[in-house]
Amino acid sequence: MKMIEMDRRRMLESVAALIGAAALPLDAMAAAAKAPAKGKPALDAPTMALVSAVADTLVPRTDTPGALQVGVPARFAGLLQNWANAEHKAQFLAALAAIDTAAKTEAGKPFTLLPASQREAFLRTYDKAHLKVDAAYTKLKDLLVMLYYFSEPGATVELRYEHVPGAWEASIPLTPQTRAWAGANVG
Amino acid sequence: MFDAIVIGSGMSGGIAAKELCERGLKTLVLERGRKIEHGADYNDWMQPWELPTAGQVPEDVLEKDYPIQRQCYAVNTATQQYWVKDSQHPYETPEGKPFSWIRGYHLGGRSIMWGRQTYRLSEMDLSSNARDGHGIDWPIRYNDLAPWYDKVETFIGVSGANEGLPQLPDGKFLPVMPMTDGEKLFKAAVEKNFPDRKVIQGRCAHLTEPQPHHIELGRNPCQYRSLCERGCSFGAYHSSLSSSLPAAQRTGNMTLVTDAIVHSIVTDPKTGKATGVRIIDRLTKQARTYEAKVIFLCASTIGSAQVLLNSRNDANPRGLANSSDQVGRNLMDHVYGPTVMGVMDGPDTYHRGRRPNGLYIPRYRNVESQNESYLRGYGFQGGVMRQGWRGVAGSEPGVGKELKERTRHPGPWVARLSGFGEMLPNPENRVTLHASKVDEWGIPQLHIHCEHGENDKALGRVMLEDAKAMLKAAGATITYETGRLHPPGLGIHEMGTARMGADPKTSVLNKYNQAHDVPNLFITDGAAMVSSGCQNPSLTYMAMSARAAYHASEFLKAGTI
Ligand SMILES: Cc1cc2nc3c(=O)[nH]c(=O)nc-3n(C[C@H](O)[C@H](O)[C@H](O)COP(=O)(O)OP(=O)(O)OC[C@H]3O[C@@H](n4cnc5c(N)ncnc54)[C@H](O)[C@@H]3O)c2cc1C
Ligand code: SF4
């Protein structure tokens, strides 16, 4: 067993070295996704303001960072530019605009101009009426929420993430303090 | 002149190469795809926040280049390098009869992206065709394969437990990965309510406790990351890159040539024996020929059929080794698609680590004898885990602090089952060469005609009902169910296109995986399968590869081929 332990440590070191050193082919793509291409912004200023307000209301700052602190709006813009096709991009933008339209008719103001407390009350009602009913809204919410929990603070400060757990513990106690594991492939 | 050529470096070719090299044969491995470096070319270091476009492959790229591959669950930006571009590797299917050919052309083939579930076929499986008359009888029985299963399991490392089930033989296992508490409850409930069924921990090709022969190859214990499809720098699951090719390499007997697309097998018209293979260089498109005394064709079920059919010549107008007209026929996959999920009560516990494995329910229908209205049977893969954050966040409405607070905590126990059913062999399910269309290397494209028969569809229906009944027996409330069958191919267990058999008139290969018509040609991938069982098949391909390599080297020594 000792030998295996040592081997494992050596392996971990070499993996760490690899992360530092290797020029991996997907690096460029990763960078592209993080920082939307210079020049024309991926989304115009009013749309960025709207998605920021929606993301902030969905996942606000509490005792941990919220969507704005972890950069969800910029990542969302990056995904619309580098991942979504034209049709889905339009659907996401329409789902955002629909929130704004509803705010105007139901709360009397564009969503971004509502005070924070009203935003939350409005979006709670809107969410109840639209989640799992309105496919475009459901996808929009899933995407914004996913970008938050996939972010480093979302995964490691709000939830818990171990890139290399090193063990499978099939049964550990669950207490009111237990945080969920982040990452993909977690059930 | 080599002693042996192995065509394809995937799951089957890797083991064939290792065994031939270890038996002292100078072996050339030809791989159509690019070279991949174990470790250096993997993306398993990427943290969730480092994944390009959050792991999602751009939709326009999926649509243009991966319309078929995108159907596979393992396609994401961290694995994108492993899937063929369908746009570059086209094939045809009849209108309304899709076949999903999921593949990767690179060193190691699909042994990099596979799901690592590892099961033996049983005596029941190897005698099923004889029992009900569908397909022809296997020329081998369980005892012929058993020592080779032992050998391959020991070499690759398989985690699992012995269960004493006749329909799913025990093996040489490394320590089992334990069940969650939800799974223990589920197992107890199912086994109590359905005495004919067993819920067991999945058997998977992971090193829970590496043995000295694994450590020698630089392989390390599994770290429970479930990033496996990206390639594992720890070498903790078996792939050609972590395991079989390094073993072949260290004998000093292997020569590896990548970017070499095998176009056809060359034969001597006088003897009818194979003399070598003709390849097209992937990059320069120049043709070359390599010669050897014996050839192992391991280009995968459909790839190998393509090579045989394209090796047609004046003496063999229908293709090589095809006097029986069975090459390309009897294409099978597993009946796959029906899936059920449900929320169930369980103890206040959680789990740590991401276990790259799940539960398995071995076949329980028509086991002792034929007693259902349909033939053969099916098994299930699944698991009972705490619902993850994405499901918890999306399960019900909520915003703001409330949403955050809910998602912060592990969700309820969620049970999940997916069926895998045995598909009957049918000679009309077949691949043929397209009459005129060729790919960019001048090789004829394939036409794939494959559809589910009535028995296959019946299995899909009972599978769904059984899965629901088992979840209900465990007290689960069903939250998701689908009975839709995926197109054949998407089970990614395609097999059968050059079946074994005792009679050269009705089969392509004999009991040694040796072509009846071409004694120095062996085919040891899924093409050789005579029936499909319902178990994940790769272990059987590897066992056949090792077994055939032994016989081929004995025949060479004896001068009979
Ligand atoms: C996502 C996924 C999950 C899976 N899960 C499981 C599982 O849990 N358990 C299981 O048992 N199986 C599983 N499989 C199936 C498993 O991967 C295959 O059964 C196995 O890899 C087949 O081995 P093979 O050697 O026949 O083909 P491959 O591994 O595909 O290798 C064939 C090789 O031949 C090369 N080749 C093809 N044509 C030519 C040519 N003309 N010239 C030169 N080289 C050529 C290819 O590039 C490739 O490298 C899974 C597959 C996938 C994709
Ligand atoms: S779970 Fe095990 S095999 Fe899979 S990537 Fe992690 S260490 Fe490798």
Confidence of residue B352 (pLDDT cuts 50, 70, 90): very high
At residue A186, the pLDDT reads 73
Cα–Cα distance list, B440 to A102, A179, B139, B437, B497 (Å): 54, 53, 39, 10, 24
Which segments within chain A are labelled E, that is strand? 169-173
* Residues of chain B numbered 228-247 and touching chain A (CB < 8 Å): 233-234
> Is B47 in Cβ contact with A163 (below 8 Å)?
yes
Q: Answer yes or no: is pLDDT of B304 > 70.
A: yes
Closest CA to B169 of B110, B120, B213: B120
At residue A6, the pLDDT reads 36
Chain B environment of A33 (Cβ under 8 Å): 52-54
At residue B108, the pLDDT reads 98
Confidence of residue B97 (pLDDT cuts 50, 70, 90): very high
- Of all protein residues, the one whose alpha carbon is nearest to atom 8 of ligand 2 is B232
Chain A contact for B78, CB < 8 A?
yes
At residue B251, the pLDDT reads 98
- pLDDT, tens digit, 9 for 90 and up, residues B11-67: 999 999 999 999 999 999 999 999 999 999 999 999 999 999 999 999 999 999 999
Using a pLDDT cut of 70, give the percent of chain B over it: 100
At residue B320, the pLDDT reads 98
Q: Answer yes or no: is pLDDT of B427 > 60.
A: yes
Please state which of the ranges A17-21, B127-131, B301-305, B502-506 shows the lowest mean pLDDT: A17-21
Using a pLDDT cut of 90, give the percent of chain B over it: 100
Nearest chain B residue to A57, by CA: B400
Min Cα–Cα distance to chain B from A46, Å: 22
First-to-last C-alpha distance (Å) of chain B: 16
Q: Answer yes or no: is pLDDT of B423 > 50.
A: yes
Does ligand 1 have an atom closer than 6 angstroms to the CB of B114?
yes
At residue A42, the pLDDT reads 85
Q: What is the mean pLDDT of each run of 10 residues along chain A (187 residues)?
A: 36 36 35 49 94 98 98 98 98 98 97 96 98 98 98 98 98 97 83
At residue B428, the pLDDT reads 98
Chain B contact for A72, CB < 8 A?
no
Tokens for B296?
Answer: 């192992």
At residue A39, the pLDDT reads 59
**ipTM confidence score:** 0.94
Min Cα–Cα distance to chain A from B213, Å: 12
Q: Answer yes or no: is pLDDT of B177 > 60.
A: yes
- CB within 8 Å of A156: residues ≥ 6 apart: A182
Closest CA to B347 of B413, B393, B285: B413
How many of the other CB atoms lie within 10 Å of CB of B255?
Answer: 14
Mutate to test the interface with B, among A174, A175, A177, A179 (most CBs of B within 10 A): A174
> Is B348 in Cβ contact with A170 (below 8 Å)?
no
- pLDDT, tens digit, 9 for 90 and up, residues B233-283: 999 999 999 999 999 999 999 999 999 999 999 999 999 999 999 999 999
> Is B77 in Cβ contact with A26 (below 8 Å)?
yes
Q: Could you give the 3-state DSSP secondary structure of residue B256?
A: strand
Tokens for A20?
Answer: 């530092």
Q: How many residues does chain B have?
A: 561
A164 Cα to the center of ligand 2, angstroms: 9
Cα–Cα distance list, A50 to A143, B28, B187 (Å): 15, 61, 49
Chain B environment of A83 (Cβ under 8 Å): 53-54, 56-59
Summary mean pLDDT of chain B? 98
Select from B50, B352, B404 the Cβ nearest to the Cβ of A59.
B404
